[in-house]
Chains A and B, each alone.
Chain A
Amino acid sequence: MTSQESETPREKTKQSRRTVGQFLQKIKLSILERTRPYRRIHYWTKKAFDELLAIRITRFFIQLIMFLLLNWVAITWILGYDPLLSSPLLLGIGWLVPTFGYIPLPYVMPHGNPAGTGVGFLDALTLIGASGVFPYLALGIALLVPAILGRSFCGWICPFGFVQDVCSLTPIRTRTPSRQTNDNLSSIKYVILGITLLFTVWLGFWTFLGIDEAFRTTLGPFATAFWSVLSPEGTFFVLIPLLALQGHISPYITRWGLMLSWGPLIWFRLIFLVIILLLALFVRRPYCRWICPTGALLGLFSRFSLLGISRRPAECPGGSCESQRCQKECPMAVKVMEAPWGRLYNGDCILCLDCRAKCPRNAIEVVFP
């Protein structure tokens, strides 16, 4: 009598059920495996953003629109009228432009821009602080926006970041400085931020006590907002437009006599701006990486941001990745591969999503919170 013949009907039924169960399990696993890419939410967002809209093109147009809106007065000068207020199609969004002026947002825009419709929050902080009032509004923006959106304003809205991005569009091959150089130069922005805040607190204190006249006279142009007087964005958005409006610079006439009358501060600012723009041809966003005090202050709080990016361990091979394009394409030289799994907490990340767009394995996704 063989073992086959010795099995009772109940055991036979159990075995057949087990076999059917295994078969169904195999089918289930096969379906799951085949439909895996389509079931992931990030697959669809990746499709939508990267292939239909293309992150970099979308970001470029958003930056361009914000650049124009933040310098909207210049558009009205060129056209001779305000299309946002006079066009019936655009009437509905006309209120947006003057609204920029009421709330300082975390981008770089100096307060003296003759064509400007808004002020960056660091300028607002120094202006309000230096007038002897505690800058609740600007500090509130400095806490609120990076805690929710990180430094996405730097990557998607900042007009001077856009100027640098345009410089890096030239066919000149961008270079990546060594890690040591990058880290050393990155500390400059914290020094500038410290000096700016120190000046603001000092001046605000004297103004509060009502004995600021002598101090302001000594500081001269630095008394209003310390960094705006030296910064390249101040030169780009304030000094050059003012020189043009006052007839010092003209596309048709070279006025050497007037140019020779410029003081050393004006020449220093122009040379500083030219250096930054030339550097932006070779290195992506050099000003944001190394010098910008606005970015430094935002970076202190954006490392706790609710919006961020993460690497998926299932797709990202980590250090053994052969391309490492996420790191190579990062305009802020963030070491994405060295971040812990699950979430990137880095004060330098501007959420431009270039790493996501360039990752060949779709391993990077946007997460909130």
Chain B
Amino acid sequence: MNRRIIAIALVCIGLSAIAFGLALGQHEIIQYWLQRISDAYVFPPPLS
């Protein structure tokens, strides 16, 4: 029972942290990295 309460508390804290992180735009940092990599390698160079 105690474990379930801890799990529900973790879910609540996790949801709040995700909402806060998205509100702060932290996903854009990840997008920046992905974009930087994909801009650099849009198509592979010829193998030879």
Contact = CB atoms under 8 A, between A and B. Distances in A.
A145 B17 CA distance: 12
Interface stretch (A55-63, A159-167, A211-219, A301-309): A301-309
SS of B interface (majority) = helix
SS of A interface (majority) = loop
B21 A112 contact: no
Interface stretch (A177-185, A244-252, A266-274, A323-331): A244-252
A114 interface: yes
A114 B40 contact: yes
A101 B34 contact: yes
B20 A306 contact: no
Interface in A183-209: none
Interface in A100-115: 101-104, 111-115
B11 to A, nearest CB: 5
Contacts of A251: 47
B17 A137 contact: yes
Contacts of B11: 143-144, 147-148
Given A144-B14, A306-B4, A127 B37 contact: no
B16 A140 contact: yes
Contacts of A301: 10
Contacts of A140: 13-21
Contact of A127 (B21, B24, B33, B41): B33
Contacts of A73: 38, 41
A143 B17 contact: yes
Interface residues of B, number: 34
A111 B34 contact: yes
Nearest to A303: B3
Interface in A102-156: 102-104, 111-119, 124, 127-128, 131, 133, 135-148
A119 B30 contact: yes
Given A140-B17, A251-B47, A304-B3, A128 B37 contact: no
Contact of A104 (B17, B20, B30): B30
A141 B18 contact: yes
Nearest to A253: B48
Given A113-B37, A128-B26, A144-B11, 11 more contacts: A111-B37, A116-B34, A119-B34, A127-B29, A128-B30, A137-B17, A145-B14, A148-B7, A301-B10, A305-B7, A306-B4
Interface of A: 73, 77, 101-104, 111-119, 124, 127-128, 131, 133, 135-148, 244-247, 250-253, 301, 303-306, 345, 369
Interface of B: 3-4, 6-8, 10-11, 13-22, 24, 26-27, 29-31, 33-34, 37-38, 40-41, 43-45, 47-48
